[in-house]
Every structure is written in structure tokens, then in C-alpha cells.
Structure 1
Amino acid sequence: MVGRRYSLVDRVIAQFDAGVQTLYGRPRGTGRPSPANELPEPELDRQERRKAARLMRVNHCGEICAQALYQAQAITTRNPALRQTLARAAAEENDHLAWCEERLMRLGSHTSYLNPLFYIGSLGIGALAGAAGDRWSLGFLAQTEEQVVQHLSRHLQRLPRQDRPSRAIVEQMRLEEDGHASSATAAGAARIPRPVRQLMRLSARAMTGTTYWI
């Protein structure tokens, strides 16, 4: 019903359903087609295909973590406008999630078996950030997205040059993640302390280092 004010319990139930869809279904995005769709499938040797698949698996898990962060912050915020902003960004992230999964299937690989573990961890981190207040929640979001942009830039350097479909996906993701960071900053994000930023980088390395292989 339009205009209905949802209770905390309502939001928790809705986000639980979103979590199940994120991990095991096809969560709702914006409906945009993958940037890879119009590009021909490249000729990759076994080593190149394996490397591209591992990098895209890391990117897919990163989008799983992003969804968990957005969902947790949507539960904890009391600001309806911020909740709508998070929902719009989450829809774009769901597009990224679908694009990465589709690309993995084309590369003959699979998503990470560790996705549920990292989802739960990110959900907890997002809830803590949200409980600290909207400015800190936005600050955490902005810092996360800034680190993701750096991570995607490194992947563009590592992906096989001829794998244009994977590169097109990563380039579009990088553009939109940068936009999410800018939006969070413009909305009044607090500056995250340096020790916390360093801890976030260490956590990201743990995720990328394991999901590359598993």
C-alpha cells in the first residue's frame, strides 16, 4: 500500500527475503541488460579463461557483500529518504550481481562457495555502521565504494585484454560504484577514521584472497 509506514519487524522480514534472493535466487534489479551482451565471445585459452573466471567470481562475491551492507543499513536507518537512496543503489548492485553471475556461467565456472559466509559477515558490519547513525552509515558506504573502485581498477589491469565482455562489465561497475560513493559523500557522509579504513582493507583482502580460489 502506497504511503504505508513499515515497522522494524516489517523491514527485517523484507530484508530477510532479500537476503535469500541475493544468495539463492535472482534479486530484483533495474532490468538493464549486461554490458557484455552485445560483445562477441573471445577466444581464450584455458589459463586465460580460468583467470577471468576467478576474477569475476571475486567481483560477484563483492556484490553479495554490497547487498548485505545495503540491506543492513536499510533496516537500521530511521530516515525514509536515506532508505530510498539505499534501495536505488541496491537495485544497481543487483544488476552487477546478475551480470557477474551470467559472465561466470559463460566462462564455465561457478560463484563462490563462501558467499553465505561473507554475506552474514557483511550484514553484521552494515548493521553496526547503521546503528552508529546515518552520517557514519553513509561514511562507511562511501569508503566501501571507494575501495571497490580501486579493486575494480586493479581487475581491469589483470583481466585478459581480449576478454572484452568481462572488461565491459567491470568498467560499468566501476563507474556506478564511483557514483554511489559520490552520492554518499554528498548526502553528508562522515569521514571514517584511518584505523577503521585499514581494517576494512584487510577484510576485503581476506574476501578476495579466498573467493579467487573457492
Structure 2
Amino acid sequence: MDQLIVEFDKALRTLFAPARSVRPVPGGDMPDTLLSDGQREHVAGLMRVNHCGEICAQALYQGQAIMSRDASVRRELEQASNEETEHLAWTEQRIAELGGRKSLLNPLWYGGSLALGMLAGRLGDRWNLGFLAETERQVEAHLGGHLDQLPAEDQKSREIIGQMKVDEARHADTAIGLGAHELPGPVKTAMKLMARVMTTTAYRL
């Protein structure tokens, strides 16, 4: 029961409490660039997608850690989750600076990702790590796409996404180093399709 309360508290904090970052926000000391209304709306939409992705990451790692049988794997999941919390704080702050809002469907994304993380953890730690590695690879590629879409003059957003991209790559490398299994091709494809649904919806809602 105590563990259930702890996990429920994590969910509430992720969804409704302001996230905090130990590291300074990348680009936080840069002056904000004047963007057109259209640019500002577009960047806020991209940041909303990234914030939503970090909500999903928190739930995925939580579900995977709950089901993991290996203490070292749980520690790595918790460390990755801590850095994802920082990403959550960075994107949340940038959304506010741009006058945007967070996704209205965050509780839905959280619930689905938690269930998916628990399923991955149930399959065993090597598959659990494989799911982590593939998730981070896909997120890294997704962030690279956002860097291509950002206005060239929006250095604040570029700094945030650039550091997130570095962190995600490191998480994937750590999982592989711990013995992650390579996921089958159809599973990778299904993950990409699910991510596309989330990103397309979160951009608008």
C-alpha cells in the first residue's frame, strides 16, 4: 500500500505540480528573440509536443521501474527519469514564455504510457532496456526534426532542444551498455506510429 501511495504521488506531481530542474535551463540567460505571432504559435506547439513527450517519459520510466527485477536497472531508470523531469521543467517554462499552454490530454498520455512501461518491464529487464533504448533513439530523431523546424533566430528554444537531444542519446547508450535487447522491426514501427498520433494531437490539443 505504501508503494502504491508513492507511485500515485509521482503521477500527481508529474501531471499537476510545476516541474523543477537542478541544472540551469539551457539558454536561460539569453534574451528572448522577437518572433512573429505565427512563429510564436508554432514554437509553442512544438514545445507542447516535447512537454507531452516528457510526461510520457515519466510514466514509461515509472512503469518500467515498478516491474524491473534488477536493482541496477531500476537505478538507471530513476536517473533517466530525473533528467526527464528537468526536460519537463525546461519545456514547461518555455511554453509559458511563449504564451502557450500544455496539452489538455496529458492525463490520457500518462495513463497509456504507464501501462506500456509496465508491460515492457513485465517482459524482463533486457527487453525492458531494449524498449528504453529504442524509445530514446526515436525521441532523439524527433528532437532533431524539431531543430530543423524552429526559426533560426529562436536560440532559446534551440538550446533547450539541443540539450534534451544530448541527454536522450546518452540514455539510449546507457541502456545498450547494460545489455538491452534489440527490438523486432514491427515493434519499432508500432512505436513510431503511436508516437506520430501523440505528436500530431498534442501539437493542437
Normalised to the residue count of structure 1, the TM-score between the two structures is 0.93
State whether structure 2 residue 43 is matched by structure 1 residue 52. yes
Which of 58, 62, 68 is the equivalent residue of 2:59? 68
Deviation at 1:27, TM superposition (A): 4.5
Residues 127-138 of structure 1 mapped to structure 2, 5 A cutoff: 127-138=118-129
Which of 6, 19, 22 is the equivalent residue of 2:14? 22
* Unaligned residue ranges in structure 1 (runs of 5+): 1-8
Separation in structure 2 between the aligned mates of residue 10 and residue 200 of structure 1, nearest angstrom: 33
| Count, aligned residues | 205
Residues 57-136 of structure 1 mapped to structure 2, 5 A cutoff: 57-136=48-127
Deviation at 1:11, TM superposition (A): 3.5
Deviation at 1:14, TM superposition (A): 1.7
Deviation at 1:78, TM superposition (A): 1.9
* Unaligned residue ranges in structure 2 (runs of 5+): none
Q: Residue 73 of structure 2: SS of its match in structure 1?
A: helix
Task: Provide the alpha-carbon RMSD of the alignment.
Answer: 1.0
Q: Would the alpha carbon gap of residues 37 and 57 (structure 1) be closer, same or farther in structure 2, given more than 3 Å must change? A: same
Q: Is the 8 A contact 2:59 2:114 kept in 1?
A: yes
State whether structure 2 residue 169 is matched by structure 1 residue 181. no
Separation in structure 1 between the aligned mates of residue 167 and residue 173 of structure 2, nearest angstrom: 10
Deviation at 1:174, TM superposition (A): 0.2
Q: Would the alpha carbon gap of residues 74 and 11 (structure 1) be closer, same or farther in structure 2, given more than 3 Å must change? A: farther
Which of 8, 11, 15 is the equivalent residue of 2:3? 11
Separation in structure 1 between the aligned mates of residue 77 and residue 19 of structure 2, nearest angstrom: 15
Moved more, 161-170 or 76-85: 76-85
State whether structure 2 residue 146 is matched by structure 1 residue 155. yes
Q: Percentage identity across aligned positions? A: 50
